[in-house]
Structure 1
Amino acid sequence: MKNNVLIVGASGGIASALIEQYRLNDAAVIAVSRAPASEFTPKENVTYHQIAQQDDAHIGAFVKKLNEQGVVLNTVVITTGFLHNEEKEVHPEKRLEDISEQALSAYFFTNSITPALWLKHLVNIVSKEGSTLVCLSARVGSISDNGLGGWYGYRASKAALNMFVKTASVEYKRRAKDVMLVCYHPGTVDTGLSKPFQKNVAAKKLFTPEFTAKQLITHVSKLDRDQACHFIDWNGEVVTW
């Protein structure tokens, strides 16, 4: 049976590397981005789709169309993430006074709400004979592993994502049977998201998107599928919730 893979956030560095890895493994890749499909270089085994507005109606319509086409997904990786926006002057907060409604809205929309909407609709088209859904999370979203403070919006939005995935895994297991959901901390990857924060990262801990994609695929494939939900890092180690 063909391995159908959905990658959400196709224009990102990690997503691009995942698309390449999966297609080289002969998977049929469905790549979704807010950018027009025409902006991507055509690749064998990959179809690009634009969802300019990542809201409930548009995500729902896209998934419904896949369902009508008879598409059954074996693997989903949701890579959407937001940490900073220089133009809108949104940066990770260093103190309480830095918190703003604008920044919190941006963090939660991209890091929590958008993945939640995808999980809402995807439950209807994932394979009941072994499917895996992965959301890119972050160690700073761990409530128990937080001794530094700061980064209020990013931390809280990733913690919310983790809770949504953990909660959804209960229902997914009941409705899709052989399914596993994963929150995955990729480490610090050399992409636009981490660019302003790389100076204090050791050279060996700044990962390429290609390394990150291979690590994700390898470690996720080794997880215990009897456990409905996992939270792991780039090295395959468990991250505490």
Structure 2
Amino acid sequence: MSRAAKASAVVIGASGGIGAAFEAALIEEGAFDVVHGFARSRTGPMHLDLLDEATIAAAAAHVAKGPPPGLVIVATGLLHADERGPEKALRDLDAEWLAKVYAVNAIGPALVAKHFLPLVPKGMRSVFAALSARVGSISDNRLGGWHGYRASKAALNMLVRNLAIEERRRNDRSIVVALHPGTVDTALSRPFQGNVQLGRLFDPERAALQLLDVVEDLKVTDSGKLFDFEGKAIAF
């Protein structure tokens, strides 16, 4: 990726499958002066828990000590955990689980934007990208189910659109997007890989490189949109 000097890259969720791949690829490419990888499982200044805004603020303060972020990727997501999976029907809805899914998939990335976007000076090209999903597209929903995951990703898509509009007023070279990585061979998708088409299950390294290529080609007019791993816009 070609970037101006004196810029950093930030990966939120750098201990996950695709997050770790993003971090490794960005370090190997060497286009940024610094690559910051934050994760809940990491300690010290690299610790960031999306459910704890204080840790997000502390991470942003750490980044602010160096070059401004030319790229921020939120590579996190919650689909299943603790024997809880995506709902198949209304009877499976649970308020506590819904709140947690929204907190991780929508609120967390929004809070990252709250603390990291102001670090980018006016006039600097920057990309803020959050991993979303095609199933979060309302217009593309023909199967139903997966209520919490679909709805929280739809909420993330709306937040991305809102952030893009607001950020454009502050920095007209800012790009805020949601990205659909496809089905990636990680713990998030593993229980649901049985129906994936041949050749459409990506290893994390390939998925990360595909999305970095998409990020590289983004234009200011793309801000506020959802793109898949081939760079095609997905209707909200």
TM-score (norm 1): 0.90
The residue that corresponds to 2:119 in the other structure is 125
Runs of 4+ aligned structure 1 residues displaced above 6 Å come to none
Instruction: Give runs of aligned pairs for residues 8-87 of structure 1, distance below 5 A.
Output: 8-26=12-30, 27=32, 28-37=34-43, 49-52=46-49, 54-67=51-64, 69-85=65-81, 87=82
Instruction: Give runs of aligned pairs for residues 87-126 of structure 1, distance below 5 A.
Output: 87=82, 89-126=83-120
Which digits, 9 at most, give the CA deviation of each residue in 1:31-90, with x for residues without a partner?
A: 00011349xxxxxxxxx71125642222123313432x14311000001100001x3x31
Call closer, same or farther: CA 1:98–1:144 in 2, change over 3 Å: same
Asked if the contact 1:134–1:184 (Cα under 8 Å) also holds between the matched residues in 2, the reply is yes
CA deviation after TM superposition for structure 1 residue 97, in Å: 0.6
The residue that corresponds to 1:43 in the other structure is none
Output the CA distance in 1 between the equivalents of 2:196 and 2:49: 34
Read off the aligned partner of 1:118 and give its amino acid letter: V
Output the CA distance in 2 between the equivalents of 1:53 and 1:188: 23
Matched position secondary structure for 1:71: coil
The residue that corresponds to 1:179 in the other structure is 174
Output the CA distance in 2 between the equivalents of 1:235 and 1:227: 14
Asked if the contact 1:73–1:127 (Cα under 8 Å) also holds between the matched residues in 2, the reply is no
CA deviation after TM superposition for structure 1 residue 2, in Å: 3.2
CA deviation after TM superposition for structure 1 residue 121, in Å: 1.1
Which has the higher mean CA deviation after the structures are superposed, 54-63 or 27-36? 54-63
Call closer, same or farther: CA 1:186–1:227 in 2, change over 3 Å: closer
Asked if the contact 1:92–1:152 (Cα under 8 Å) also holds between the matched residues in 2, the reply is yes
Output the CA distance in 2 between the equivalents of 1:155 and 1:99: 13
CA deviation after TM superposition for structure 1 residue 205, in Å: 0.6
State the superposition RMSD in angstroms.
Answer: 1.6
Asked if the contact 2:75–2:131 (Cα under 8 Å) also holds between the matched residues in 1, the reply is yes
Matched position secondary structure for 2:102: helix
Read off the aligned partner of 1:23 and give its amino acid letter: I
Instruction: Give runs of aligned pairs for residues 211-230 of structure 1, distance below 5 A.
Output: 211-230=206-225
2:226 aligned to 223, 228, 231, which one? 231
Count of residue pairs the alignment pairs up = 229
CA deviation after TM superposition for structure 1 residue 164, in Å: 0.6
Asked if the contact 2:12–2:38 (Cα under 8 Å) also holds between the matched residues in 1, the reply is yes
Call closer, same or farther: CA 1:217–1:228 in 2, change over 3 Å: same
TM-score (norm 2): 0.92
Matched position secondary structure for 2:10: strand
The residue that corresponds to 1:45 in the other structure is none
Q: Unaligned 5+ residue runs, structure 2? A: none
1:143 aligned to 103, 117, 138, which one? 138
Matched position secondary structure for 1:203: coil
Asked if the contact 1:145–1:240 (Cα under 8 Å) also holds between the matched residues in 2, the reply is yes
Q: Unaligned 5+ residue runs, structure 1? A: 39-47
